[in-house]
Amino acid sequence: MSIIVFSENRTGKIKKHSLDAVAYAAHISKSTSQPIVAISIGNVSIEELAVLAKYGASKIISVNKENWQNHDSRAYTKLIAEIVEKENANMVIFNHSNIGKALAPRLSVRLKAGLASNVVALPVTISPLVFTRKSYNGSAFQHMQINSAKCVVTLNPNSCEVTENQVAVNIVDYTPTVEAEIKTKVENVDLVTGKILLTEASIVVSGGRGLKSGDNWKPVEELAAALGAGLACSRPVSDEGWRSHEEHVGQTGKIIAPDLYIAIGISGAIQHIGGISGTKVIVAIDKDKDAPIFSYANYGIIGDAFTVLPNLINSVKKFKAQ
Amino acid sequence: MKILVCIGNVPDTTTKIRFDAEMKNLDTNGVQWVINPWDELALTRALEIKEQSAGKIEKVSVINIGKVDAEQTIRKALAIGADDAFRVDADPTDPYFIAAQIAEVAKAQNYEIIFSGIESSDFNGAAVGSMVAELLDLPSVSAVSSFEFNDGNIVLKREIDGGKETVSVQAPFVAIVQKGISINPRIPAMRGIMMARTKPINVSAPVAVDSLVEAKTFDVPAPKAACKMVDAEDTDKLIELLHGEAKVL
Amino acid sequence: MNFEFTEEQLMIKQAARDFAVRELLPDVLERDASSRFPARQMKMLAELGFFGMCVDPKYDGGGMDNISYVLALEEFAKIDASAAVVLAVHNSLACYGIEHYANEEQKQRFLPALARGEKIGAFLLSEPEAGSDATSQKTTAEDKGDYYLINGTKNWITSADNAGTYIVIAQTDREKKHKGINAFILDRHSPGISLGPHEDKMGMRSSDTHSVMFTDVKVPKENRIGEDGFGFSFAMKLLDGGRIGIAAQAIGIAGGAFDLALKYSKERKAFGTEICNHQAIAFKLAEMAVKLENGRNLVLKSAWLKDNGLPYGLQSAMAKQYCADSAMEITTEAVQIHGGYGYVKEYHVERLMREAKVTQIYEGTSEIQKIVISRTILKD
């Protein structure tokens, strides 16, 4: 009975969160001694696939076929179900990403396997299998028990300690038996290239209304560049058109969980906090000492962003130079 | 063609979330109930599509899985402009149960396009729409931020890593929509509120469904330690803390 | 006794609130500073049916009850008293006046456009020399056989420029004193009508207020409301009902200020704790809360009486006097609770305080309300 991890890739590289998911599976496997099988769909090199073994995947099933290149939820679900059957898996782990959300529920229905989605931690117990998941937009956690023999999981980042666990690996170039009956046709792809993906960035620098105008973003961008961080903003900022909607982080925008989130001139409305509830460390910089953000932040600086930022950028550059 | 919009009845997002003594059920005292925000955006878009379709879309219906207290929320959907509603009389226990009920009605009533918000603000499962699609063996497109009907040659935009993908699809299918599908949810007009009085809410009994999961208890997050303040002059110290103490740099 | 709202009334209240937050709040400070009329928002409100919301659907109105109306007005006023007063004058005076006192032909001619919000309504009674003393009408409406000729000046007219339909009160027969006053429906652009400059007001600056000058303005006989000499009685009856809307507006302004003060008191710290934990502030908030509850109850009861065809003159005067005076007190305290921040435009409460003042003055000063109240209670 294996554990399957569905790994996502982008521009030929396995995503960090998928490696985290393998590490999560490895944690579970410590109690259950199950082999971990990773699935990869798309054009990923053998060297790159082997990274999955660093975290515990002993078998990697790579589907790199022409008619399977474009995501079609119905078709991919059938494919994964086929592999689940072949590998005799009783658990399939996805990232709680757009892809995971599109596939995991379908797979859950297809396999009649209970779905634990939006999971934030290692299982409370293995037998019975109980997961902890986010609910009420992060205001509460729900414990959910799986009653079916198989289960499907979608996993948030920072759900467990990510430790390396190198194992010997068998990489299989797999040819699906099931037909790729693609009913959704991709007409066009519009990528915002060159920017660090917000949902994957481990450090994010975010600006709010306290910066007064879209013209004042240079220091924010500089800080992000110095840190190798993604750029985000609060809702009023994107509503005003100061920054693109792509950067809007919040309950109705993107929900992210980086390791470090630096909020500049953001008051900390509950809807914004709902977008960063899984973040490891929050730093707030605001001139209003009563701003709600300080009750959510781990570290804070009270001050004018325009004076603090240049100093902070210098400190970061100094640190990186060491 | 007809559009079916799945709507969840959820606590208003400014509600202070509290549970009963056993931590099993939400304390509903003083809770204001609203249409799940993503579903409300989905409904707004569906109505726009119908209005612009020159009759090709003949009606927009809503479906809710809930007890009779959910009807206030259903009536708001009718006031916004939905033509009629279905309510399956059952507690919305988990996404699989909910999806099974919706699939049953969608199939019986022949809906060609099903809309669902990407997740609900109470359960945050992000599952119902996709599950309905699998139960009905229909294509589904998720993270949809734009929907053009084009007389049936439907073109969607969905969010992918680092950008958007334009996808074309034919009905029947399920669209799982998120922010961007509509800028703001519709505010009901007086006329709509008046007409909602006479629009039907068709109530039916639930079908039996396997119980694959079981909700146990809830937990509230541990109170956060106080924010460590750093002097505005001392940004070096902040970096030191982030590296040495928090270990995120 | 059922103190609960119906599902529909709550839906209307919520719709008004959502609209106010989404569409009125973002530019309310800018419109206050520049005295700019919310033209875009008024169009949207028309589409949503808030103009003419109580008018019978057969005239394209919303057919809603007065409770729904006051609930909506209160929500608008919490955020934008200017938008609220435009709606209040339009609904309570223009629409109600025509729907209940005009003849069928006049209703067909004027009401649908008003009910759809295609035209905004204004009510012209006050004059430079006649405010509280409405019997001293100097504006004349000379009976010329098949038309009247109107000459004179009206003051402090809300929506004078943006309105499309005016209801004008003028004196036809001075001998008959207040029994010689008539009411007329006019098109705002009738030849001979000119406007004074936009008044630079203390508050409600986004609603336009002008003097209106009439120079030989011809009004056909068919535009007179009711029998000859009905005008004064008509105006008084109208104002009785208009009071309810203004009371709702006033308590809305107060409610908005209270909500802001309450929130601020939970965030602001002084002497080691949030200021709401200091009794001085907590007691202020308690007193404000009591006044709000009382004011709302008076408004709702007046609306309920009107909905049920019962006499409401006493209660509407009580509501108007109490809500306006309370609004002044509550907004002043709200500024006080905000301390220095309360004096600054960004925090809204100083605007609410400026807006509250006129509610004690227009549509019958608080003093006039007390005359109405005392006369009623002293009657045998």
Question: For B104-143, how does the pLDDT look when each residue is reduced to its tens digit (9 = 90+)?
Answer: 999 999 999 999 999 999 999 999 999 999 999 999 999 9
Domain presence at residue C273: yes
Q: Are residues C106 and C125 in the same domain?
A: no
Residues C84 and C108 in one domain: yes
For residues C192 and C219, state if they share a domain.
yes
CB pairs under 8 A between A and C: 4
Instruction: Name the one residue in this structure whose structure tokens are 């409405």.
Output: C134
Looking at the fold, whether C55 and C138 belong to one and the same domain comes out as no
Residues C216 and C279 in one domain: no
Q: Is residue C83 part of a domain?
A: yes
Contacts 24+ apart (CB under 8 A), C364-369: C364/C132, C364/C239, C364/C243, C364/C317, C364/C320, C365/C131, C365/C132, C366/C320, C366/C321, C366/C324, C366/C325, C367/C132, C368/C132, C369/C243, C369/C317, C369/C318, C369/C320, C369/C321
Mutual angle of helices C7-19 and C66-79, in 10-degree steps: 20
Main-chain dihedrals φ then ψ at residue A174, nearest 5 degrees: -100, 135
Arithmetic mean of pLDDT over chain B = 94
At which of C115, C148, C183 does a domain end?
Answer: C115
In a domain, C2, yes or no: no
pLDDT for C221 equals: 96
User: pLDDT digits over C38-57, tens only?
Assistant: 999 999 999 999 999 999 99
Q: How confident is the model over B203-212, as a mean pLDDT?
A: 96
A292 touches chain C (CB under 8 A): yes
Specify whether the CB–CB gap between B170 and B202 falls below 8 A.
Answer: no
pLDDT at residue number A273: 87
Query: What confidence score (pLDDT) does residue C362 get?
Result: 94
Interior/surface letters A6-19, b for 16+ CB within 10 angstroms, e for the rest: bbbbbeeebbebbb
Residues of chain C where predicted confidence (pLDDT) is lower than 50? none
The rounded distance, in Å, linking the Cα atoms of A107 and C380 is 81
Same domain, C205 and C256: no
By C-alpha distance, the chain C residue nearest B190 is: C49
Q: Give yes or no for a contact between C130 and C138, defined as CB atoms under 8 angstroms apart.
A: yes
What chain C residue is nearest to A240 in terms of C-alpha separation?
Answer: C26
* pLDDT(B233) > 70: yes
Which chain B residues are Cβ-neighbours of A315 within 8 angstroms? Answer: 235-236, 238-239
Active site residue C363: yes
Contact A40, A57 (CB under 8 A): no
Residue B242 lies in a domain: no
Nearest by CB to B194, which of C7, C19, C62? Answer: C62
**How do residues B75-91 score in pLDDT, each as one tens digit?**
999 999 999 999 999 99
Tell me whether residue B185 is in a domain. yes
Report the alpha-carbon distance of residue B186 to residue B208 in Å, rounded: 35
Q: Into how many domains does chain B fold?
A: 1
Does residue C1 form part of some domain?
A: no
Q: Report CA torsion sign: A7, A11, A17, A19.
A: positive
Give the gap in angstroms from C-alpha A303 to the nearest C-alpha of chain C: 18
Per-residue model confidence as pLDDT tens for chain A (322 residues): 999 999 999 888 999 999 999 999 999 999 999 999 999 999 999 999 999 999 999 999 999 998 898 889 999 999 999 999 999 999 999 999 999 999 999 999 999 999 999 999 999 999 999 999 999 988 899 999 999 999 999 999 889 989 999 999 999 999 999 998 889 999 988 887 667 788 888 899 999 999 999 999 999 999 999 999 999 999 999 988 999 888 999 877 888 989 999 999 999 887 788 889 888 899 999 999 888 899 899 999 999 999 999 999 999 999 988 7
Q: Which domains does chain A have, with CATH numbers?
A: 2-173 (3.40.50.620), 203-321 (3.40.50.1220)
Q: How far is A292 from chain C (nearest CA, A)?
A: 8
pLDDT attached to residue C134: 87
Residue B248 lies in a domain: no
DSSP state of C224: B
User: Are C228 and C296 within one domain?
Assistant: no
Residues of chain B whose beta carbon is less than 8 angstroms from a beta carbon of chain C are 72, 75-76, 79, 184, 187-191, 193-194, 197
| Subunit contact A115:B225, Cβ cutoff 8 A | no
pLDDT at B179: 81
> Are C38 and C127 members of one domain?
no
Among the listed residues C44, C48, C74, C75, the one whose alpha carbon sits nearest the alpha carbon of residue C61: C48
pLDDT value at residue B143? 94
Together in a domain, C208 and C288: no
Mutating which of C4, C5, C7 best tests the B interface, going by the most B Cβ atoms within 10 A?
Answer: C7
Question: Residue A298 and residue B212: Cβ atoms within 8 Å?
Answer: no
Q: What is the pTM of this model?
A: 0.88
What's the gap in Å between the CA of B223 and the closest CA on chain C?
18
Alpha-carbon distance values, A111 to A63, A78, A148, A162 (Å) = 20, 10, 10, 29
> CA nearest A300: which of B224, B223, C341?
B224
- The pLDDT of residue A194 is 65
Q: Is residue B232 situated within a structural domain?
A: no
**Which of C198, C232, C266 corresponds to the end of one domain?**
C232
Among residues C232, C252, C281, the one where a domain terminates is C232
Q: What is the pLDDT of residues B153-171, one digit of tens each?
A: 999 999 887 788 999 999 9
CA distance A169 to chain B (A): 28
Residue in B with minimal Cα distance to C60:
B191
Identify the pLDDT of residue C198: 96
Q: pLDDT tens-digit profile of A95-128?
A: 999 999 999 999 999 999 999 999 999 999 999 9
Number of domains in chain C: 3
Please pick, among C274, C293, C363, C367, the residue that the annotation labels catalytic.
C363
Regarding beta strands B113-117 and A140-146, do their DSSP bridges make them parallel or antiparallel, or are they unpaired? unpaired
User: Rounded distance, CA C282 to CA A101, Å?
Assistant: 48
Whether residue C194 is contained in a domain is answered as yes
User: Does C334 lie in the same domain as C222?
Assistant: no
**Which residue type does C233 have?**
S
Cβ distance A103 to A76 under 8 Å? yes
Q: What is the pLDDT of residues A189-241, one digit of tens each?
A: 888 766 778 888 889 999 999 999 999 999 999 999 999 999 999 999 998 89
What ipTM describes this predicted complex? 0.93
pLDDT recorded at residue A10: 85
C228 plus C240 within the same structural domain:
no
pLDDT of residue C204: 97
Structural domain span for residue C89: 7-115
Q: Which domain range does residue B105 map to?
A: 2-221
> Dihedral sign, CA of A98, A102, A107, A108?
positive
